[in-house]
Amino acid sequence: MAHVSSLRDIQRAIAKQAVLEDQVPIDSIKKIAAFDCAQLKESLVCSVIVCDYPSMNVVERKYLVKRAPMPYVPGYLSFREGPLMLELYYKLESDPDILIVDGHGVAHPAGCGVATYLGVELHKPTFGVANSLTFGERQEDNILIDGQVVGKVIKTKEHAKELCITAGHLIAGETAAQIALKCVVPPHKLPEPLHIAHRFAEKTRDRIVEESMIKKVDV
C-alpha cells in the first residue's frame, strides 16, 4: 500500500481538477447510476444500479467482488472503493448522465472524497450522499467550504436522519441536492438508485456468504 502522504498528494491533485458547475441541465438527464460497496471479509462487493430518470425504473445492474485494494483508513475511502467502482463503470452497457456515490464529494480534508475521485477520473457529473458531515461548515441547510456552497443538508423522510449531499465534479452543490430529492421514492430515505445499489450489494454479499457455508456443509 502506498504511504498515506503520497495518497494525500494524489487526492489534492485530483481535487484541483474538480469543477463545481453544472455540466448537464436537469431537464436533459435520462439515466442516473449509483454505486455502493458492502464488505465481505477482506473483499468488497461493489454494486452499480442504473435507473431511468425521472421514473426511477432500473435499466441495468451489475456487481463486482474483489479484494479491497487497501484497508479502511479514514479520509482515504476513494482508494479503497474507487478502483472497484471505476472497473464496474466500464462494464456498463448504459451511459448514465449523473453518478451518485455513497460517500462525500469535495467535503473532504483534501477536497477529494470518493465522489470527486470517481467524477474526475470518469469526467462525469458526480455527487456524494452521506449520513454525516465530516469536513466543511454547515450554515442552516448549506454545506460550505471556504465560504463556497458545495452541498446541502436535506431531509427526505420524517423521523429519519438528514442526508449530506455534496458536489463531486461537474455539478453544483444546489443542483446535486435538487436531483437527490427528485430521486427519492417514499418510504425510502436514500435517493432510489443509491437505495437499490445499497440493497443489491448487501444481498449479493449475504448470498455469497450463504453459498460458501452450504459448500462447507456439503464437503
Domain architecture of the chain: domains with CATH: 4-218 (3.30.2170.10)
Which residues have C-beta within 8 Å of that of residue 24, sequence separation ≥ 6?
97, 98, 125, 170, 171
User: Which of 170, 59, 77 is closest to 123 using CA atoms?
Assistant: 170
Cα dihedral value 117, 123, 129, 130, nearest 10: 10
pLDDT score recorded for residue 5: 77
pLDDT score recorded for residue 2: 55
Q: Is 60 exceeded by the pLDDT of residue 1? A: no
The band of 219, judged by pLDDT with boundaries at 50, 70 and 90, is very low
Mean pLDDT of the region 189-205: 97
Q: Which residue has the cell 427519492?
A: 184
Torsion sign (Cα): 87, 89, 94, 95: negative
164 close to 107: Cβ distance less than 8 angstroms: yes
pTM of the model: 0.93
